[in-house]
Amino acid sequence: MPKPLPSSIDATQELLSNDGYLADRPLSTVVYLALKMGRPLFLEGEAGVGKTEIAKVLSSVLGRDLIRLQCYEGLDLAAAVYEWNYSAQMIEIRMAEAEGVDDRDRLQSDIFSDRFLIKRPLLQALEPHKSGPPVLLIDELDRTDEAFEAFLLEVLSDYQITIPEIGTVKAAEPPIVIVTSNRTREVHDALKRRCLYHWVGYPSAERELAIIKARKPGVGDDLAQEVVGFIQALRGQDLFKSPGVAETLDWVGALNELNAIALDPATVNDTLGVLLKYQDDIARMEGSEAKRLVDQIQSDIRLRAAE
Protein backbone atom coordinates (compact mmCIF):
# COMPACT_ATOMS: atom_id res chain seq x y z
CA MET A 1 0.00 0.00 0.00
CA PRO A 2 1.44 3.36 -0.94
CA LYS A 3 1.62 5.66 1.99
CA PRO A 4 1.64 9.43 1.84
CA LEU A 5 4.96 11.25 2.02
CA PRO A 6 5.71 12.98 5.33
CA SER A 7 4.56 16.57 5.46
CA SER A 8 7.22 18.07 7.69
CA ILE A 9 10.71 17.50 9.00
CA ASP A 10 9.36 16.23 12.30
CA ALA A 11 7.06 13.82 10.53
CA THR A 12 10.00 12.52 8.52
CA GLN A 13 12.06 11.98 11.63
CA GLU A 14 9.21 10.13 13.27
CA LEU A 15 8.47 8.06 10.21
CA LEU A 16 12.06 6.87 10.02
CA SER A 17 12.16 6.09 13.71
CA ASN A 18 9.05 3.91 13.32
CA ASP A 19 11.26 1.40 11.61
CA GLY A 20 14.14 1.80 14.02
CA TYR A 21 16.17 4.34 12.06
CA LEU A 22 17.01 7.19 14.38
CA ALA A 23 18.00 10.02 12.10
CA ASP A 24 19.30 13.29 13.48
CA ARG A 25 17.68 16.56 12.52
CA PRO A 26 20.03 17.41 9.62
CA LEU A 27 19.53 14.03 7.99
CA SER A 28 15.77 14.22 8.46
CA THR A 29 15.76 17.66 6.89
CA VAL A 30 17.58 16.53 3.80
CA VAL A 31 15.46 13.39 3.46
CA TYR A 32 12.31 15.45 3.80
CA LEU A 33 13.50 17.89 1.14
CA ALA A 34 14.50 15.10 -1.22
CA LEU A 35 11.04 13.58 -0.94
CA LYS A 36 9.32 16.92 -1.22
CA MET A 37 11.33 18.25 -4.14
CA GLY A 38 11.57 14.93 -5.93
CA ARG A 39 15.33 15.16 -6.03
CA PRO A 40 17.88 12.34 -5.73
CA LEU A 41 19.59 12.20 -2.37
CA PHE A 42 23.35 11.83 -2.43
CA LEU A 43 24.71 10.40 0.81
CA GLU A 44 28.40 10.28 1.48
CA GLY A 45 30.20 9.03 4.56
CA GLU A 46 32.40 6.37 6.08
CA ALA A 47 31.42 2.76 5.70
CA GLY A 48 28.87 1.53 8.21
CA VAL A 49 27.15 4.78 9.21
CA GLY A 50 23.77 3.79 7.82
CA LYS A 51 23.67 5.22 4.30
CA THR A 52 22.29 2.13 2.66
CA GLU A 53 20.02 1.45 5.56
CA ILE A 54 18.10 4.64 5.01
CA ALA A 55 16.94 3.47 1.59
CA LYS A 56 15.76 0.18 3.02
CA VAL A 57 13.93 1.91 5.85
CA LEU A 58 12.33 4.44 3.51
CA SER A 59 11.03 1.70 1.27
CA SER A 60 9.54 -0.15 4.19
CA VAL A 61 7.94 2.81 5.97
CA LEU A 62 6.55 4.23 2.75
CA GLY A 63 5.46 0.82 1.56
CA ARG A 64 7.40 1.12 -1.68
CA ASP A 65 9.41 -1.44 -3.60
CA LEU A 66 13.14 -1.25 -3.11
CA ILE A 67 15.24 -1.56 -6.23
CA ARG A 68 18.92 -1.84 -5.57
CA LEU A 69 21.73 -1.27 -7.99
CA GLN A 70 25.06 -2.29 -6.51
CA CYS A 71 27.83 -0.52 -8.39
CA TYR A 72 31.16 -2.08 -9.31
CA GLU A 73 33.98 -1.28 -11.65
CA GLY A 74 32.97 -1.92 -15.22
CA LEU A 75 29.25 -1.78 -14.55
CA ASP A 76 27.66 -1.34 -17.96
CA LEU A 77 24.29 -0.85 -19.57
CA ALA A 78 23.66 -4.58 -19.91
CA ALA A 79 23.88 -5.04 -16.15
CA ALA A 80 22.41 -1.74 -15.02
CA VAL A 81 19.66 -0.83 -17.47
CA TYR A 82 18.55 -3.49 -19.92
CA GLU A 83 19.66 -6.32 -22.13
CA TRP A 84 18.06 -8.12 -25.00
CA ASN A 85 17.24 -11.78 -24.61
CA TYR A 86 19.40 -12.97 -27.47
CA SER A 87 18.59 -16.63 -27.45
CA ALA A 88 14.85 -15.94 -27.51
CA GLN A 89 15.42 -13.44 -30.29
CA MET A 90 17.32 -15.99 -32.33
CA ILE A 91 14.60 -18.55 -31.94
CA GLU A 92 12.08 -15.93 -33.02
CA ILE A 93 14.10 -15.20 -36.13
CA ARG A 94 14.32 -18.88 -36.98
CA MET A 95 10.60 -19.31 -36.48
CA ALA A 96 9.86 -16.34 -38.66
CA GLU A 97 12.11 -17.84 -41.30
CA ALA A 98 10.33 -21.16 -41.08
CA GLU A 99 6.98 -19.45 -41.44
CA GLY A 100 8.31 -17.55 -44.37
CA VAL A 101 7.80 -14.09 -42.99
CA ASP A 102 9.65 -11.73 -45.23
CA ASP A 103 8.41 -8.41 -43.90
CA ARG A 104 11.63 -7.06 -42.52
CA ASP A 105 10.11 -4.13 -40.66
CA ARG A 106 7.67 -6.33 -38.88
CA LEU A 107 10.37 -8.77 -37.94
CA GLN A 108 12.48 -5.90 -36.65
CA SER A 109 9.72 -4.53 -34.45
CA ASP A 110 8.85 -8.01 -33.25
CA ILE A 111 12.39 -8.81 -32.28
CA PHE A 112 12.98 -5.57 -30.45
CA SER A 113 9.83 -5.53 -28.44
CA ASP A 114 9.10 -5.58 -24.76
CA ARG A 115 8.91 -9.33 -24.82
CA PHE A 116 12.61 -9.74 -25.41
CA LEU A 117 13.74 -6.99 -23.13
CA ILE A 118 15.42 -8.04 -19.90
CA LYS A 119 14.95 -5.18 -17.51
CA ARG A 120 17.72 -4.32 -15.09
CA PRO A 121 17.38 -2.13 -11.96
CA LEU A 122 17.44 1.34 -13.54
CA LEU A 123 14.78 0.49 -16.10
CA GLN A 124 12.69 -1.28 -13.50
CA ALA A 125 12.77 1.82 -11.35
CA LEU A 126 11.21 3.94 -14.10
CA GLU A 127 8.29 1.61 -14.64
CA PRO A 128 5.00 2.12 -12.88
CA HIS A 129 4.75 0.12 -9.67
CA LYS A 130 1.60 -0.95 -7.94
CA SER A 131 2.73 0.53 -4.65
CA GLY A 132 3.74 3.86 -6.11
CA PRO A 133 7.14 5.03 -7.33
CA PRO A 134 9.80 2.71 -5.93
CA VAL A 135 12.87 3.56 -3.89
CA LEU A 136 15.91 3.26 -6.14
CA LEU A 137 19.13 2.66 -4.24
CA ILE A 138 22.30 3.24 -6.24
CA ASP A 139 24.82 1.85 -3.82
CA GLU A 140 28.52 2.74 -3.67
CA LEU A 141 28.56 4.84 -6.78
CA ASP A 142 32.26 5.57 -6.27
CA ARG A 143 33.08 2.01 -7.26
CA THR A 144 31.97 2.45 -10.81
CA ASP A 145 33.72 4.56 -13.44
CA GLU A 146 33.10 8.01 -14.87
CA ALA A 147 31.43 6.64 -17.99
CA PHE A 148 28.63 5.21 -15.94
CA GLU A 149 28.26 8.40 -13.95
CA ALA A 150 27.79 10.30 -17.17
CA PHE A 151 25.04 7.91 -18.14
CA LEU A 152 23.36 8.37 -14.79
CA LEU A 153 23.07 12.10 -15.50
CA GLU A 154 20.25 11.51 -17.96
CA VAL A 155 18.49 9.10 -15.65
CA LEU A 156 18.71 11.30 -12.58
CA SER A 157 17.82 14.61 -14.15
CA ASP A 158 14.91 13.61 -16.38
CA TYR A 159 14.09 10.17 -15.05
CA GLN A 160 14.21 8.77 -18.52
CA ILE A 161 16.24 6.22 -20.43
CA THR A 162 16.71 5.99 -24.15
CA ILE A 163 16.74 2.56 -25.74
CA PRO A 164 17.74 2.99 -29.39
CA GLU A 165 15.55 0.16 -30.70
CA ILE A 166 12.42 1.20 -28.82
CA GLY A 167 12.61 4.85 -27.90
CA THR A 168 12.59 6.79 -24.70
CA VAL A 169 11.19 5.33 -21.53
CA LYS A 170 10.09 8.00 -19.11
CA ALA A 171 8.88 7.50 -15.60
CA ALA A 172 5.34 8.74 -15.06
CA GLU A 173 6.24 9.43 -11.47
CA PRO A 174 9.91 9.79 -10.51
CA PRO A 175 11.27 7.15 -8.17
CA ILE A 176 12.80 8.08 -4.82
CA VAL A 177 16.49 7.92 -5.56
CA ILE A 178 19.19 7.41 -2.93
CA VAL A 179 22.79 7.44 -4.10
CA THR A 180 25.52 6.42 -1.68
CA SER A 181 29.28 6.76 -1.88
CA ASN A 182 32.14 5.79 0.40
CA ARG A 183 34.30 8.40 -1.24
CA THR A 184 36.99 6.09 -2.54
CA ARG A 185 37.09 8.64 -5.29
CA GLU A 186 35.43 11.96 -5.91
CA VAL A 187 32.15 11.74 -7.79
CA HIS A 188 31.82 14.30 -10.54
CA ASP A 189 30.27 17.63 -9.65
CA ALA A 190 27.81 17.49 -12.53
CA LEU A 191 26.15 14.51 -10.93
CA LYS A 192 26.22 15.94 -7.43
CA ARG A 193 24.69 19.14 -8.69
CA ARG A 194 21.50 17.26 -9.53
CA CYS A 195 21.25 15.81 -6.06
CA LEU A 196 20.80 17.00 -2.53
CA TYR A 197 24.02 16.26 -0.72
CA HIS A 198 24.51 15.10 2.80
CA TRP A 199 27.54 13.86 4.68
CA VAL A 200 26.52 11.15 7.12
CA GLY A 201 28.76 11.27 10.17
CA TYR A 202 29.09 9.12 13.24
CA PRO A 203 26.24 9.52 15.73
CA SER A 204 26.59 11.21 19.10
CA ALA A 205 26.73 9.07 22.24
CA GLU A 206 23.06 9.60 23.14
CA ARG A 207 21.91 8.82 19.63
CA GLU A 208 24.06 5.75 19.43
CA LEU A 209 22.65 4.52 22.72
CA ALA A 210 19.14 5.07 21.39
CA ILE A 211 20.04 3.21 18.19
CA ILE A 212 21.27 0.21 20.18
CA LYS A 213 18.09 0.18 22.21
CA ALA A 214 15.92 0.43 19.12
CA ARG A 215 17.78 -2.24 17.20
CA LYS A 216 18.84 -4.65 19.94
CA PRO A 217 16.06 -4.45 22.52
CA GLY A 218 17.34 -7.40 24.55
CA VAL A 219 20.54 -5.71 25.61
CA GLY A 220 20.97 -4.52 29.18
CA ASP A 221 21.27 -0.85 29.98
CA ASP A 222 24.69 -1.08 31.56
CA LEU A 223 26.22 -3.03 28.74
CA ALA A 224 24.76 -0.68 26.15
CA GLN A 225 26.19 2.33 27.94
CA GLU A 226 29.61 0.79 28.26
CA VAL A 227 29.61 -0.26 24.64
CA VAL A 228 28.73 3.23 23.48
CA GLY A 229 31.36 4.74 25.76
CA PHE A 230 33.99 2.36 24.43
CA ILE A 231 33.12 2.94 20.80
CA GLN A 232 32.98 6.69 21.14
CA ALA A 233 36.39 6.58 22.80
CA LEU A 234 37.63 4.35 20.00
CA ARG A 235 36.54 6.90 17.41
CA GLY A 236 38.65 9.47 19.19
CA GLN A 237 41.73 7.28 18.78
CA ASP A 238 44.02 7.61 15.83
CA LEU A 239 42.75 4.61 13.88
CA PHE A 240 42.94 3.74 10.24
CA LYS A 241 39.25 2.90 10.15
CA SER A 242 36.97 3.86 13.02
CA PRO A 243 34.05 1.54 13.74
CA GLY A 244 30.68 2.63 12.31
CA VAL A 245 27.20 2.12 13.68
CA ALA A 246 26.97 -1.20 11.86
CA GLU A 247 30.01 -2.41 13.80
CA THR A 248 28.51 -1.17 17.06
CA LEU A 249 25.38 -3.21 16.46
CA ASP A 250 27.42 -6.25 15.43
CA TRP A 251 29.48 -5.94 18.56
CA VAL A 252 26.46 -5.62 20.81
CA GLY A 253 25.09 -8.73 19.14
CA ALA A 254 28.36 -10.56 19.65
CA LEU A 255 28.60 -9.58 23.33
CA ASN A 256 25.02 -10.64 23.79
CA GLU A 257 25.79 -14.04 22.31
CA LEU A 258 28.65 -14.38 24.75
CA ASN A 259 26.29 -13.54 27.60
CA ALA A 260 28.36 -10.58 28.69
CA ILE A 261 26.63 -8.22 31.10
CA ALA A 262 29.47 -5.76 31.31
CA LEU A 263 32.66 -5.07 29.40
CA ASP A 264 35.83 -6.66 30.63
CA PRO A 265 39.24 -6.40 28.97
CA ALA A 266 39.45 -10.08 28.10
CA THR A 267 36.11 -10.13 26.26
CA VAL A 268 36.98 -6.90 24.52
CA ASN A 269 40.25 -8.37 23.32
CA ASP A 270 38.55 -11.50 22.04
CA THR A 271 35.88 -9.62 20.13
CA LEU A 272 37.95 -6.71 18.83
CA GLY A 273 37.79 -8.20 15.36
CA VAL A 274 34.10 -7.33 15.20
CA LEU A 275 34.92 -3.64 15.60
CA LEU A 276 38.24 -3.14 13.89
CA LYS A 277 39.01 -4.52 10.48
CA TYR A 278 42.63 -3.56 10.06
CA GLN A 279 45.43 -5.53 11.68
CA ASP A 280 47.32 -2.31 12.51
CA ASP A 281 44.32 -0.98 14.39
CA ILE A 282 43.76 -4.22 16.27
CA ALA A 283 47.42 -4.47 17.25
CA ARG A 284 47.24 -0.94 18.51
CA MET A 285 44.16 -1.40 20.63
CA GLU A 286 44.78 -4.89 21.95
CA GLY A 287 45.88 -5.61 25.52
CA SER A 288 46.76 -2.74 27.77
CA GLU A 289 45.17 -0.06 25.58
CA ALA A 290 41.82 -1.85 25.58
CA LYS A 291 42.06 -2.32 29.33
CA ARG A 292 42.83 1.33 29.84
CA LEU A 293 39.81 2.37 27.79
CA VAL A 294 37.49 -0.06 29.55
CA ASP A 295 38.65 1.13 32.96
CA GLN A 296 38.27 4.72 31.94
CA ILE A 297 34.74 4.45 30.64
CA GLN A 298 33.63 2.35 33.58
CA SER A 299 34.88 4.94 36.01
CA ASP A 300 33.24 7.65 33.89
CA ILE A 301 29.92 5.89 34.05
CA ARG A 302 30.23 5.40 37.81
CA LEU A 303 30.99 9.06 38.23
CA ARG A 304 28.00 10.09 36.19
CA ALA A 305 25.77 7.72 38.14
CA ALA A 306 27.04 9.21 41.40
CA GLU A 307 26.16 12.72 40.37
Partner 1 sequence: MAMQPTAANSNKPPPTGHLPDNIMHFARVLRDTGLPVGPGAVLDALEAVRGGGMASKTDFYWIMHSVFVKRHEHTTLFDHAFEVFWRKPQMVEQLMQLLFQQVRVETAPAKKKAGNKRLAEALFNQDDAQSQRERPSDEVELEGEFTSSAREVMRNKDFEQMSADEERIARAAIARMRMNRLEVKMRRFKPSRQGVVDMRATIRRSLRAGGNMTSLAHKARQTREPPLVVLLDISGSMANYSRVFLHFLHALTNDRSRVQVFVFGTRLTNITRELKRRDVDEAMELVGSHVDDWSGGTRIGHTLREFNRKWARRVLAQGAHVLMMTDGLDRDDVDLLEAEMARLARSAKRIVWLNPLLRYGGFEARASGIKAIMPHVDEFRPCHSLNTLADLAEVLSGSRNETHDPQRWLDGTAVDPRKTDEVRP
- Tell me the closest approach of the beta carbon of residue 270 to partner 1, in angstroms: 25
Nearer to partner 1, 93 or 254 (CB): 93
Please report how close the Cβ of residue 161 comes to partner 1 at its closest, in angstroms. Answer: 16
C-beta of 213 vs 284, nearer to partner 1: 284
Torsion of CA 26, 29, 33, 36, to 10 degrees: 160
State in angstroms the smallest separation of the CB of 257 from partner 1: 31
- Report the candidate in 42, 17, 20 with the shortest Cα–Cα distance to residue 6: 17
Q: Whole-number minimum distance, CB 273 to partner 1, in Å?
A: 19
Q: How far is the CB of 90 from partner 1 (least distance, A)?
A: 7
Listing DSSP states for 236-295 in one string gives: HS--SS---HHHHHHHHHHHHHTT-SS--HHHHHHHHHHH--SHHHHHHHTTHHHHHHHH
Cα-based angle 42, 32, 130 (whole degrees, multiple of 5): 85
Neighbours of 307 (CB within 10 A): 5
C-alpha 10/C-alpha 25 separation (Å) is 8
Q: Is 111 or 262 the residue whose CB approaches partner 1 more closely?
A: 111
Q: What is the contact surface with partner 1 in residues (CB under 8 A)?
A: 7-10, 25-26, 29-30, 32-33, 36-37, 39, 42, 44, 73-74, 76, 83-84, 86, 89-90, 93, 96-97, 102, 104, 107-108, 111, 142-143, 145, 147, 182-186, 189, 192-193, 196-199, 240, 280
| Beta carbon of residue 74, minimum distance to partner 1 (angstroms, whole number) | 2
Phi-psi region of 30 (alpha: psi -120 to 50; beta: other; left: phi over 0): alpha
CB within 8 A of 298, min separation 6: which ones? 226, 262, 263
Q: CA gyration radius for the chain?
A: 25
Based on CB atoms, which residue is closest to partner 1, 84 or 120? 84
Cβ proximity to partner 1, 31 vs 294, nearer residue:
31
CB of 223 to partner 1, least distance (A): 31
User: Inter-axis angle of helices 245-257 and 265-275, to 10 degrees?
Assistant: 140
Of 195 and 272, CB closest to partner 1: 195
CB of 224 vs partner 1, minimal distance in Å:
28
Q: 63 or 74, CB closer to partner 1?
A: 74
By beta-carbon proximity to partner 1, the closer residue of 173 and 295 is: 173
